[in-house]
A and B are shown apart, each in its own frame.
Chain A
Amino acid sequence: MPEPTDNSSGLVCVGLNYKTTPVEVRERLAFPEAQVPLAVEQVRGLPGFEESVVLSTCNRVELYAAHSLPSGHHGHAALRDYLIARFELQPEHAEAMVLYNLDADEAARHLFRVVSGLDSMVLGETEIFGQVKSAYKTALATGSTARTLNKLFQQAFTVGKKVRNDTMIQRGSTSVGSVAVDLAEKVHDLKECRVMLVGAGEMSRTCAQSLLSRGAKSVIVSNRSYEKAVELAAEMKGTAIKFDEWEHALHEVDVIISSTSAPHFVIKPEQIEQVMRRRRWEPLLLIDIAVPRDVDPSVNDIEGVYLYDIDALQNIADDGRRERERQLAACERIIEEQLEKFGYLKPPGASQAGLLVS
């Protein structure tokens, strides 16, 4: 095993995220995608700075940099001043801006946690990995990275992959929409999956969009207000049908998402029994998001029919979140091991840089 070396000298990170800063402030400090290359160059061009990466997403704005200033505090102050100047913040806004100032091993640990999805709003989400990669590529393309940040980011991607491969941090679903996708994937080949919305509520729209984004074949929308059905169908590139026609189309679909405001059961066992015969026992997934429920629970007793109501979906999502939280300790352990392996941890006895919030 190679001897660990100190990779952290001159490394700083200054940032804010959804935990420290409300969205109305975050949106003011977000870098538009097209302006990120310029921002990266501006940060690198600050006196005493040699390298920089700018990460700007809806949940965070972070500046990573390598500098040759006398101390980390100088680096933090320079980056803070840059943000104030760049976004032309009024003194009162600048005063209210809460930033985390990290240097050396804390900055590396933070990036490793971010890449692994441990610092995300949805624990273990994977989108952030791509966002960090994109931020690094932008910095690389502008020539704003060198030895310190190249090493740090390459190592962060390795750690992110390791955390996801060796733990269950990304397993399970944490939202009703993603539970619907998981269920549909375990019943059908999603590419061949046809979806029907009975009622055009917000949550059924979210579920249908999740299914479509993961490759579902088509969507049929039926709603009491036909205009609303047409509007939603157009948005999802699907087909709208009148509300009195939805029963006739039942046998053509593989997933039914129901969210009408009817005070009684809209989908009954006798209808589904007929449908199943016409479908020649092809499995059917029913997602009942309505309260009061739209689907008679005894429908679940029919062979080949899988019924999930809102409570069942919510329970699965809660289990998924709890499972991910249980994985946190294992993820943190991997990150600590990797920090040590890559030489970011200071020898025992040396003072550790802490989380400084200004």
Chain B
Amino acid sequence: MRVPVTPPLQILLASTLAFACAVVQGVVALKSGVWKQGNTRFVLMGCGFLLQTGFIYLRGQDVGQCPMKTLPDILVFIAWSIVLLYFLVGSAFRLSLLGAFTAPLVSVMQIMAMAGGFAAYPPKGKINALIELHAAVALIAYAAFALACVTGVMYLVQERMLKRHQIGGLFYQLPPIQGLALAIQRLVRLGLLLLSISLGTSFALHTPVSNPKLVFSWVVWGLYAVITVLMWRHFTSPRRTAWLAVIGFILPFISLWIVTHA
């Protein structure tokens, strides 16, 4: 059996540094009030993403499977998915500031992952593609929920400034609250769809219903299904929906820790 080797942490460290630089650049730009749609942030996020991808690839090589077994691995994978979704939806929703709000979350997740350490685990004898797909799609769904949470924070900040007549600084940089509300809805729907696909594949895997990972995944699915229905039927205001998207993400985040330690 091949002995697993810890992949070069320097790659992940460099990726985290790139995201941290994007955070600093964003904070400096927001504080100075001169927010440009320049390439610097995009390049920093792109570098961080490429390094993340390299780290996940090497880690996958080492453990002989898609690295999603331990909490640090999961955190890195979700962080990677968040950045991927940021590149996909950020421009689609014209949310230029999303990167500035996403970079801190991604940096924190990767710092937490590095602090936890990357334990070696034996490679799988035979890889079941369906299991890998099930896990990967679930984690990308969690990334969509994370991005909905970030967008929710942006909404709440902008809404507060509008309500309190605090016009200046960040106010001019943030998108209209109507657009942010729409982005939250779409991200929650996307996450729910991906999680549904992931849970759908679990039926084909004959996983015991009592499996804690599955139980928590269904709980998360239930929570976001409720949020989706509330949004769809307009039972709550966009502000409450934004709060739900922000607070709601706590559950999947905690569930990650529980399922990896169960």
Task: Report which A residues bind B (CB closer than 8 A).
Answer: 165-168, 171-172, 179, 182-183, 185-189, 280-283, 300, 303-304, 306, 308, 312, 315-316, 319, 323
Task: Report which B residues bind A (CB closer than 8 A).
Answer: 33-34, 36, 158, 162-163, 165, 167-168, 171-172, 174, 176-179, 234, 236-240
Q: Is the CB of A165 within 8 A of B237?
A: no
Nearest Cβ on chain A to B31's Cβ, whole angstroms: 12
Tally the A-B contacts, defined by beta carbons under 8 Å.
58
Please, which residue of chain A has its CB at the minimum distance from the CB of B167?
A316
- Once A282-B178, A304-B238, A304-B239 are accepted as A-B contacts, the answer to whether A186 and B158 lie under 8 Å apart by CB is yes
Which chain B residues lie closer than 8 Å to A304 at the CB level? 237-239
Please, which residue of chain A has its CB at the minimum distance from the CB of B36?
A165
Which chain B residues lie closer than 8 Å to A308 at the CB level? 165
Which chain A residues lie closer than 8 Å to B176 at the CB level? 185-189
Please, which residue of chain B has its CB at the minimum distance from the CB of A300?
B163
* Bound Cα distance from A280 to B179, whole angstroms: 15
Which chain A residues lie closer than 8 Å to B168 at the CB level? 172, 319, 323
Please, which residue of chain B has its CB at the minimum distance from the CB of A172?
B168
Q: Is the CB of B165 within 8 A of A316?
A: yes
Which chain B residues lie closer than 8 Å to A283 at the CB level? 177-178, 238
Q: Pick the contact of A281 from B34, B162, B237 — CB < 8 Å? A: B237
Nearest Cβ on chain B to A173's Cβ, whole angstroms: 8
* Bound Cα distance from A187 to B179, whole angstroms: 8
* Bound Cα distance from A168 to B171, whole angstroms: 14
Q: Is the CB of B165 within 8 A of A171?
A: no
Please, which residue of chain A has its CB at the minimum distance from the CB of B94?
A189
Q: Which of B36, B167, B238 has the most CB of A within 10 A?
A: B167
- Once A171-B33, A186-B176 are accepted as A-B contacts, the answer to whether A303 and B237 lie under 8 Å apart by CB is yes
Report 5 cross-chain contacts, Cβ distance below 8 Å, ordered by A residue. A171-B33, A183-B162, A282-B178, A303-B239, A315-B165
Please, which residue of chain A has its CB at the minimum distance from the CB of B34?
A168
Q: Which 10 A-B pairs have CB atoms at the shortest separation, nearest pair first? A: A280-B234, A303-B237, A281-B237, A316-B167, A306-B162, A168-B33, A188-B178, A312-B165, A186-B176, A304-B237
Q: Pick the contact of B179 from A189, A303, A319 — CB < 8 Å? A: A189
* Bound Cα distance from A315 to B166, whole angstroms: 10
Q: Is the CB of A281 within 8 A of B33?
A: no
Please, which residue of chain B has its CB at the minimum distance from the CB of A302?
B237
Q: Which of B171, B179, B237 has the most CB of A within 10 A?
A: B237
Which chain A residues lie closer than 8 Å to B162 at the CB level? 183, 186-187, 306
Q: Which of A167, A186, A280, A323 has the most CB of B within 10 A?
A: A186
* Bound Cα distance from A267 to B234, whole angstroms: 24
Please, which residue of chain B has its CB at the minimum distance from the CB of A316?
B167
Please, which residue of chain A has its CB at the minimum distance from the CB of B161?
A186
* Bound Cα distance from A280 to B185, whole angstroms: 14
Which chain B residues lie closer than 8 Å to A167 at the CB level? 34
Which chain A residues lie closer than 8 Å to B240 at the CB level? 303
* Bound Cα distance from A86 to B195, whole angstroms: 77
Which chain A residues lie closer than 8 Å to B34 at the CB level? 165-168
Q: Is the CB of A182 within 8 A of B177?
A: no
Nearest Cβ on chain A to B128's Cβ, whole angstroms: 45
Q: Is the CB of A186 within 8 A of B237?
A: no
* Bound Cα distance from A179 to B172, whole angstroms: 11
* Bound Cα distance from A189 to B180, whole angstroms: 11
Known: A172-B168, A185-B176, A323-B168. 11 other contacts (CB 8 A): A182-B172, A186-B158, A186-B171, A186-B176, A280-B234, A281-B234, A281-B236, A282-B178, A283-B177, A303-B239, A303-B240
